[in-house]
A and B are shown apart, each in its own frame.
Chain A
């Protein structure tokens, strides 16, 4: 909460962002269910706005064995990087749960990694698209990339200009298939002007909604 206050985001703005993310994740769940032919439930319990160092430490502490992640960079009225992160073994379990014909190996093949990229792609696109659509932003999003087991720092250091007081949007996301529940994280790294733009757009959106 101290974080929120210091960064001067209003409760309304956070609520609006949470709602947008939940809408996006709902779309993603539907897409994934269609893709794998069974119900996939996605759930974002809560959204946090955190500093870069905070999130780096937090993730590194919670995942000492490293993380696999799919990330997509975007640019436009909002610049930054979006990422879906999993503990390595969990990302493997997720692919196993989604791809039924997978051989029981210790390593994902190139094609399976691509499948995981698409899972990330579906989720991240849904979140970004909902945000862009709802807030009237203008962005272009890059093709997703998959990285296995890199330290979190590498992902977060994507842009050296990101300073440590930087606001990042962070939310845990739960995956549920018939087989197992898997937890991953969705992370948006935004540059400072982009945070301002996002906040301004949210303000307008909140005002519009409340004004109606």
Chain B
């Protein structure tokens, strides 16, 4: 007897706990008996419906909510009680199954669960749970908005980068050192005249097209950028096809990605046009516009460089100073056009007989200089004589117009501190050649 009493107390105690748990539950709970009358109505239900537990007990849902229930709701309750079926009624399909409100008085968003509960085999009840999904819905709306915004941003960024006259390229470096392409803008199609899909997944697509001489430069820079998370830029030549090359300015920036792996952001600009202009500017700055050979400044710069080298390594160096004889009278008798023609032909003719390493330029007016590295005075005299002879027979395209040249030769000595000193001696030699009747070579 004592044991039975003890068991009964335990059961009562448990059922007491259970009632409290259901009563305090975070969701609305209703229990209906086999005839669909309310036998349990928890605190949340009171909050949602404004109906006190005591007013709810013993009534059915139609009475409590003054109306006809949704057919599926009604049927689900019936199926739970008679056949033991559980059902879920989602907000997406049904909206609010019961007219419930949240704590602010607004319509409650909820999902309804209907389950059979069997307390003893002959007595099946039905548990209805009302789960507030206001937060879920708000969260989903927020997520949707963020997703949409992200999508918009991405589209905008794509549009921007794809229409940029540059290529944006992002590569991830995996732990084993292999590279993986993570982004490439459409601009690459224009840069390389290639199909986007053919290369978009290849992290080394540009490297494969770079001219052989520049590959090691890129590799060095890439290694530096990755290792030190730094920024570098280089200009490389890229083979577009067998005939066309382009100059590409690569801006590379290494950094750590969010997951700790290395990322290289690349911006590639086609600077071919800039390079072409640059080349042209350099040509203009270094050449004499009339004769197409080096101008005085470039002539002197290059010659001085050779002078320094010769000085340092104690190798011979000689200088020829050439002065066209009676040039003034050519201008006076044949006109300036003829004078120009003489200068042009003169320059072209001498360029044809000088070596690749010789420096030939216009010193000013009708004076020209040939700097001959590795040449002693004797060698230089031989070359000067060769020049003198060629000029004698030079045809300038004008009848009865022929010119001759006087050439002064000077060799650098170990005492010479500057090229000027050598040139000065060559100048003296020219003076001597002129005095000797012109059309001859003199040395000093």
Contact = CB atoms under 8 A, between A and B. Distances in A.
A180 B249 CA distance: 53
B79 interface: yes
Given A109-B140, A110-B140, A132 B84 contact: yes
B72 interface: yes
A161 interface: no
Contacts of B89: 118
A34 B72 contact: yes
Contacts of A210: none
Contact of A144 (B79, B88, B133, B148): B88
A143 B115 CA distance: 7
B93 A36 contact: yes
A61 interface: no
Given A34-B71, A105-B144, A125 B79 contact: yes
Chain B interface size band reads 20 to 34
A178 to B, nearest CB: 17
A138 B122 CA distance: 12
Interface string A66-78: 0000001010100
A129 B78 CA distance: 11
Given A111-B136, A125-B79, A99 B86 contact: no
A101 to B, nearest CB: 8
A114 interface: yes
Interface string A156-185: 000000000000000000000000000000
A35 B72 contact: yes
Nearest to B118: A140
A111 B88 contact: no
Contacts of A34: 71-72
Given A105-B147, A132-B84, A138-B84, A35 B136 contact: no
Interface in A66-123: 72, 74, 76, 98-99, 103, 105, 109-112, 114-115, 117-118, 121
Closest 9 interchain pairs by CB?
A: A115-B92, A140-B84, A114-B90, A118-B90, A109-B140, A115-B90, A143-B86, A125-B85, A141-B86
Given A34-B72, A98-B93, A128-B85, 15 more contacts: A31-B72, A34-B71, A111-B140, A114-B90, A115-B90, A118-B92, A121-B86, A125-B85, A125-B86, A140-B84, A140-B86, A141-B85, A142-B86, A143-B115, A144-B88
Interface of B: 71-72, 79, 83-94, 111, 113, 115-116, 118, 133, 136-137, 140, 143-144, 147-148
